[in-house]
Chain A
Amino acid sequence: MSDRLRAFSGQIIAVGVALLLGAIIIILVGESPVHVLMTLLRGAFGDQEKIAGTLLQTTPILICGVAACIGLRGGMFNVGIEGQLFLGGFAAAWVGFTFSLPAGIHTLAALALAVVAGAAWVAIPAFFRARYNTNEVVSTILSNYIAVLLTSYFTIFLFKRPGGWSETPPILATAYLPEIFAFSRLNWGLVIGLLLAVGVALIFRYTSWGYGVTMVGSAPKFAEYGGVDVKRQGFVVLLLSGAVGGLAGGVETLGVHHRFMEGFAPGFGFDGLIAALLANGSPVATIVTALFFGALRSGSLLLEVDTSASREIITVIQALIILSVSAQVLIKRRGDSQAGERRWKF
């Protein structure tokens, strides 16, 4: 257990360093870090509506984070969650406004197609990875741009709501994900996310399949030696990761927007990936890190009202977190490296 503690202490130090640097920047723009922090906290957790708002922002980050965790466990870096989210979102909306089905079944059908869309979209990079050993980081990043523009094309040219903005017709109420409280758009998507995080953690821990995949991620040569089909599991893991990415889009569409809009969920896929990295690839810890990023997002709304800092300061802090988390990983690996050791000497 002390190993796990040590792993997380590195992450916590990384976040601390990032917040410290953020504080310095806030001072440089002539604002008080304490004031900004208090405003952020108030904006995120000030009253029940604010808390619900934070949880609403947390939901897609959490689901995307779980998607990233699945990939990371199996040694696959799925950076295409953003794209899978967009396609999943569109697929769910299409089921929502095209078919008329009984309530509940309609929702499930829409979510199912979102899952299929996400998986199908990542299948292309996953295939090239398994067959030709293409670097999945590059191919999944690139697939994001295609996905975002493809859904824009669908929305503007094929399914545009007559007279409306760049958005599809609204989905039928039968396909909605029900809201939990009357005072907020917070919906059952959060519950889906929480169940998913716990479920995925259990699968990795308690199934034979999860054991093999975890070994592929942490010691691929050992897994290969032990008879795990490393290529095949890599493919499966990417597919599942993409499926959950698609689900995130479906949940966002059915729970919040009730239609597909161009650029409907900016950056949730990337925030999810960062949350997963910050959580060391643990789905349960991702609940906490996703909440952290959700709070930053929702708290920042109040920032421009009550302080002289721009809400972009949140983006800056996020960038600092990415930098310090990656630096922390490099520093940790420095001890392990042999041939590459010169690379980290400055």
Chain B
Amino acid sequence: MSNAPGSPPLLSTAAMAVELTGITKRFGAFIANDGIDLAVRRGEIHAIIGENGAGKTTLMNILFGLLQPDEGSIRLNGEATVVADPAAAIKAGLGMVHQHFKLVPSLSVADNVFLGMEVRRHGLIDHAAQIARTQELSKRFGLHVDATERVGLLSVGIEQRIEILKVLVRGARTIILDEPTAVLTPQESRELFQTLRSFVAEGMTVIFISHHLEEVMEVSDTVTVLRNGRKVATRPTSELNKDELVRMMVGREVSFDRRPRAALHGDIVLDVKDLWARDDRRLPAVRGASFAVRSGEVVGIAGVAGNGQTELAEVLSGLRPASHGAAWLKGQDLTTLSPAAIRQAGLAHVPGDRMVRGVDRNASIAANTLMGRQHRAPWSQNGVLDWKAIAQNAGALIKSFDIRAQGAGDAVKRLSGGNIQKVVLAREFTNGADFLLIDQPTRGVDIGAQEAIHDEIMRQRAAGQAILLISVQLDELAALADRILVMFNGRIMGEVAGDDADEDRIGMMMAGVSQQLEPA
């Protein structure tokens, strides 16, 4: 175990610690990485930023040997390298700190750090040496970890430092951190940044994955932005501001025209009051959201993906408990109801992850249009389904929503993404609900289908439905919404009227700069 950071580094004159060229990775039809080039200079903190699903983690898993690229090549310290598995990556001086920690709670910090590479003396584990080494590294990089403590007693922040120690002990000179601040308090994040700076001060290299602009601006030397599996740009951080970063992350592929509309001032259908909810890691994801949606109105929610929009939608549809607050749908508090009862109360929901939540891919179109109404006439009578009526209805929906399929018996998985989304819309928009919760209606949908979906949403608005439209596409919101609320870090940062949606103002709010200028 001589290749620890204390020992002389593998001497190499290459200026680039990591060079990825033309990396492409496909999962079935989905392209997670599409011809990505990435060059990381030795001794810099290089941030990789992008929305959830932009391909950051896939790219890093490829670099670390957890996944194999379909195309492309990797050079480490100037040498062409095939990273067959993580062992090869570690040998080449890479280290990765994952989002989910892999520690043994019953062992001490030092035992965890040296797990699998124990220091031996006379055939026995030399605990004293392991502890001494752990303490020394901890002190050198300001990690403040007690090497003798049992891991099960420690906080998440400390666990992350132990993972960093593990990487250091294995001789890493280039350290990859996958969303390291997601589990940290602001104070802990600042301490982590100190540690990262001390790494580069010693000539090491840090690759830092994030979707939080502030911290990227604060800590990195260089930023690479990924979007939809592609690289948008690599720029020195000093040349960028948050606003530009948001624009690069969110992108602007299509420009929709604002849809003409007549002002309708209906009654309040959905009234959300100080709503809080936690994400899957039990961290607050929605922090005190308050807003109302009236009938005949499209309220848009803008924001960089991962700022609490998903959790908000899940709370409103009963799929996630609220930790505080209320959401009244025509007088009933949704936070106390089951998903079935919420539908009964008048919710239709177009979910963001339509392939998992929105459809059963293996079932027919007819079976997919039945969900949520299988206990209602005319589709069933006394608990017995009338498949003829169901198929007829599905056939009518295929026609009126222009779903490109051969018939109601087609399996949904045979359809294109846009047509699958139309199946979801057809089902949800014909449920007789008063409140439509629409999450990312056109993600991964071709232009033609996008137009059709937008037409349909406007038709629903004209019919007097109350619509909450969550989208990461600003153009979509600018085209459809009467009002746009901007979400950042679980909070509603401000509101912009759809008629004068100013991208700069929205962009600032998406980047977390609140708008004090709002008229009260």
**Contact between A211 and B370, CB atoms less than 8 A apart:** yes
How does the 8 Å CB contact mask read for B356-370 relative to A, with 1 for contact and 0 for none?
A: 111111110001001
* Contact of B357 (CB < 8 Å), options: A205, A221, A336, A342: A221
* Chain B residues closer than 8 Å to A212, beta-carbon distance: 374
Give Cα A224–Cα B67 distance, bound, in whole angstroms: 32
Give Cα A228–Cα B361 distance, bound, in whole angstroms: 17
Among residues of A, the one whose C-beta sits closest to the C-beta of B385 is A206
Of B258-266, B280-288, B337-345, the one contacting chain A is B337-345
* Chain B residues closer than 8 Å to A209, beta-carbon distance: 383
**Contact between B363 and A225, CB atoms less than 8 A apart:** no
Query: Least Cβ distance of B57 to chain A in Å?
Result: 10
* Contact of B384 (CB < 8 Å), options: A206, A222, A335: A206
Give Cα A215–Cα B367 distance, bound, in whole angstroms: 9
How does the 8 Å CB contact mask read for B56-77 relative to A, with 1 for contact and 0 for none?
A: 0000000000110000000000
A219 within 8 A of B: yes
* Chain A contact patch, size range: 20 to 34
**Contact between B27 and A207, CB atoms less than 8 A apart:** no
B351 within 8 A of A: yes
**Contact between B66 and A342, CB atoms less than 8 A apart:** yes
* Chain A residues closer than 8 Å to B351, beta-carbon distance: 225
Residue of A218, A219, A342 contacting most chain B CB atoms (<10 Å): A219
A3 within 8 A of B: yes
Give Cα A158–Cα B374 distance, bound, in whole angstroms: 50
**Contact between B358 and A225, CB atoms less than 8 A apart:** yes
Residue of B30, B317, B383 contacting most chain A CB atoms (<10 Å): B383
Give Cα A224–Cα B370 distance, bound, in whole angstroms: 14
* Chain B residues closer than 8 Å to A227, beta-carbon distance: 338-343, 372
* Chain B residues closer than 8 Å to A3, beta-carbon distance: 362, 411
Query: Least Cβ distance of B365 to chain A in Å?
Result: 13
* Contact of A215 (CB < 8 Å), options: B338, B371, B380, B384: B371
**Contact between A222 and B360, CB atoms less than 8 A apart:** yes
A229 within 8 A of B: yes
**Contact between A229 and B340, CB atoms less than 8 A apart:** yes
Q: How many residues of B contact A (CB 8 A)?
A: 35
Give Cα A209–Cα B380 distance, bound, in whole angstroms: 10
Give Cα A218–Cα B6 distance, bound, in whole angstroms: 54
Which residues of chain B from 317 to 337 have any CB-CB distance to chain A below 8 Å in the complex?
317, 319
* Chain A residues closer than 8 Å to B385, beta-carbon distance: 205-208, 211
Query: Least Cβ distance of B178 to chain A in Å?
Result: 14
* Contact of A222 (CB < 8 Å), options: B28, B67, B341, B371: B371
* Contact of A225 (CB < 8 Å), options: B28, B357, B380, B387: B357
Which residues of chain A from 21 to 35 have any CB-CB distance to chain B below 8 Å in the complex?
none
Give Cα A342–Cα B62 distance, bound, in whole angstroms: 12
B349 within 8 A of A: yes
* Chain B residues closer than 8 Å to A211, beta-carbon distance: 367, 370, 374, 385
**Contact between B384 and A207, CB atoms less than 8 A apart:** yes
How does the 8 Å CB contact mask read for A220-258 relative to B, with 1 for contact and 0 for none?
A: 011111111100000000000000000000000000000
**Contact between A215 and B360, CB atoms less than 8 A apart:** yes
How does the 8 Å CB contact mask read for B479-491 relative to A, with 1 for contact and 0 for none?
A: 0000000000000
* Chain A residues closer than 8 Å to B375, beta-carbon distance: 208
Residue of A227, A335, A338 contacting most chain B CB atoms (<10 Å): A227
* Chain B residues closer than 8 Å to A224, beta-carbon distance: 319, 339, 357
**Contact between A208 and B360, CB atoms less than 8 A apart:** no
How does the 8 Å CB contact mask read for B100-139 relative to A, with 1 for contact and 0 for none?
A: 0000000000000000000000000000000000000000
Query: Least Cβ distance of B337 to chain A in Å?
Result: 10
Give Cα A16–Cα B343 distance, bound, in whole angstroms: 48
How does the 8 Å CB contact mask read for A190-227 relative to B, with 1 for contact and 0 for none?
A: 00000000000000011111011001001101111111
Give Cα A228–Cα B370 distance, bound, in whole angstroms: 12
* Chain B residues closer than 8 Å to A205, beta-carbon distance: 385
Query: Least Cβ distance of B120 to chain A in Å?
Result: 31
- Using known A-B contacts A211-B385, A338-B27, determine if residue A218 contacts B338 with beta carbons closer than 8 Å: no
**Contact between A219 and B360, CB atoms less than 8 A apart:** yes
- Using known A-B contacts A207-B383, A224-B319, determine if residue A229 contacts B338 with beta carbons closer than 8 Å: yes
Among residues of B, the one whose C-beta sits closest to the C-beta of A225 is B357
Which residues of chain B from 355 to 407 have any CB-CB distance to chain A below 8 Å in the complex?
356-363, 367, 370-372, 374-375, 380, 383-385, 387
Give Cα A227–Cα B357 distance, bound, in whole angstroms: 11
* Chain B residues closer than 8 Å to A341, beta-carbon distance: 27, 67
* Chain A residues closer than 8 Å to B317, beta-carbon distance: 225
**Contact between B384 and A225, CB atoms less than 8 A apart:** no
* Chain A residues closer than 8 Å to B384, beta-carbon distance: 206-208
Give Cα A215–Cα B385 distance, bound, in whole angstroms: 15
* Chain A residues closer than 8 Å to B362, beta-carbon distance: 3, 218-219
Among residues of A, the one whose C-beta sits closest to the C-beta of B362 is A218
Query: Least Cβ distance of A140 to chain B in Å?
Result: 26
What are some 8 contacts across the A-B interface (CB < 8 A)? A206-B385, A208-B374, A211-B370, A215-B363, A219-B356, A222-B358, A224-B319, A342-B66
- The 4 A-B pairs at the shortest CB distance, nearest first, are namely A227-B340, A219-B360, A226-B371, A208-B374
Q: Which residues of A contact B (CB under 8 A)?
A: 3, 205-209, 211-212, 215, 218-219, 221-229, 335-336, 338, 341-342
